[in-house]
Amino acid sequence: MNVLDYTFEAYGQLLDAALDAGCTVLTVREFLQRKELPDRFVLLRHDVDRRPANAVRMAALESRRGVAATYYFRTGTFDSETARAMAERGHEIGYHYEDLARTDGDVEAAHRRFERNLERFGRSVPIETVCAHGSPLSPHRNTDLWEERSPAEYDLLGEAYRSIDVGPDAPGGLRYLSDTGRTWRTPGSGSEAIATTGDLVAAIESGAYPRVYLLAHPCRWADGPLELAGRIAWDLGAESAKLAVGRIRG
Ligand SMILES: [Zn+2]
């Protein structure tokens, strides 16, 4: 774990490296709408699990460089004014749903809840894509909401996991990299060699990763080492809670 990594400064350098390498930055909506994809691109996704102020910071870093990303807000991190301001700058706002976990696996109740929340978000900004939250403390996988129904029923373009192939043999050589666990190493994606943001910058600069799908959680990034130490402590607490639940479930 690199304490100096995952700073907003490092994030800015990552964006600069992608732009210098000639990558187009795409939102999830743009990715799903395009008939043809650029040779080099970064599909940029942010799950706003906590600390919405950090999402605003990240969006500003992107706007300053003339690029936009997709921000998935939970019901608890969504704020209509913030969402509107971000959408005005070209960012895509989506719903980070966890309805199946919240209804304890009741699929019908989860759909009613999903629809209500989608309507609430949609009153402020157009919502065209959604993305499941991990809900680590629940035994229910939120993506199971779509076992018998489809996001298209809600006039959605797609879902960030279901609609995008993130496997090692994904079409077009798309590589999925996530900062979950404070490393970019993402098991099963063929990108295990990339640990730090520096590694990722080098891979993008070398052209080895011309097409990447990046998930950066704004709450995991910070101004500098001191603030980051606090974040890591929080993460470690959350990790041990997940482990404890895992052990109880056995
Ligand atoms: Zn999440």
**How remote is the CA of residue 243 from the centroid of ligand 1, in Å?**
17
Q: Could you tell me the distance, in angstroms and rounded to a whole number, from the CA of residue 241 to the centre of ligand 1?
A: 16
Which two three-digit tokens encode residue 142? 């939120």
Distance 133 CA to ligand 1 centre (A): 4
Ligand 1 centroid, distance to 161 Cα (angstroms): 12
Residue 21 CA, ligand 1 centroid: distance in Å: 29
DSSP one-letter code for 23: P
134 CA → ligand 1 middle, Å:
5
Average pLDDT over residues 25-54: 96
Average confidence score pLDDT of the chain: 90
- What is the C-alpha to C-alpha distance for residues 151 and 128, in angstroms, rounded to an integer? 10
206 alpha carbon – ligand 1 mean position (Å): 31
What's the gap in Å between 2 CA and the centre of ligand 1? 22
Q: Could you tell me where the beta strands, DSSP code E, fall in 69-174?
A: 70-73, 92-97, 129-132, 158-159
181 vs 124, which has greater pLDDT?
Answer: 124
Query: Out of 58-62, 238-242, 245-249, which region has the weakest mean confidence (pLDDT)?
Result: 245-249
Distance 158 CA to ligand 1 centre (A): 17
Ligand 1 centroid from CA 87, angstroms:
20
What is the rounded distance in angstroms from the CA atom of residue 87 to the CA atom of residue 63?
A: 11
pLDDT tens-place string over residues 127-171: 999 999 998 889 999 999 999 999 999 999 999 999 998 777 888
**What are residue 130's DSSP bridge partners?**
95, 159
Question: What's the confidence (pLDDT) of residue 94?
Answer: 98
For 21, 33, 67, 146, 204, the CA distances from 93, given in Å and listed in that order, are: 26, 15, 14, 21, 26
Is there a contact between 20 and 72 (Cβ–Cβ < 8 Å)? no
pLDDT value of residue 1: 46
pLDDT tens string 167-192: 778 888 899 999 988 788 877 777 77
Q: 50 C-alpha vs ligand 1 centroid, how far in Å?
A: 9
Kindly give the distance from the C-alpha atom of residue 95 to the centroid of ligand 1, in angstroms, as a whole number. Answer: 10
The residue among 21 and 228 whose pLDDT is bigger is 21
Q: Which residue has the tokens 């992107």?
A: 62
At residue 239, the pLDDT reads 63
Residue 144 carries which DSSP code? G
243 pLDDT higher than 70: no
Q: Rounded to the nearest whole angstrom, what is the distance from the C-alpha of residue 200 to the centroid of ligand 1?
A: 22
How far is the centre of ligand 1, averaged over its atoms, from the C-alpha of 250 (Å)? 23
Which tens digit of pLDDT belongs to each residue from 51-101?
999 999 999 999 999 999 999 999 999 999 999 999 999 999 999 999 999
Domains and CATH numbers, the chain: 8-249 (3.20.20.370)
Give, for 107, the enclosing helix (H) or strand (E).
helix 107-122
Least confident of 48-57, 92-101, 214-223, 239-248: 239-248
- Tell the burial category of 148 from Cβ atoms under 10 Å away from its Cβ (0-12, 13-18, 19+): exposed
Residue 75 CA to ligand 1 centre (angstroms): 11
Which tokens go with 198?
């520096």
User: If you measure from the C-alpha of residue 8 to the centroid of ligand 1, how many angstroms do you get, rounded to a whole number?
Assistant: 20
Query: Token digits for 173?
Result: 């050589």
What distance in angstroms lies between residue 73's CA and the mean position of ligand 1's atoms? Answer: 8
pTM: 0.90
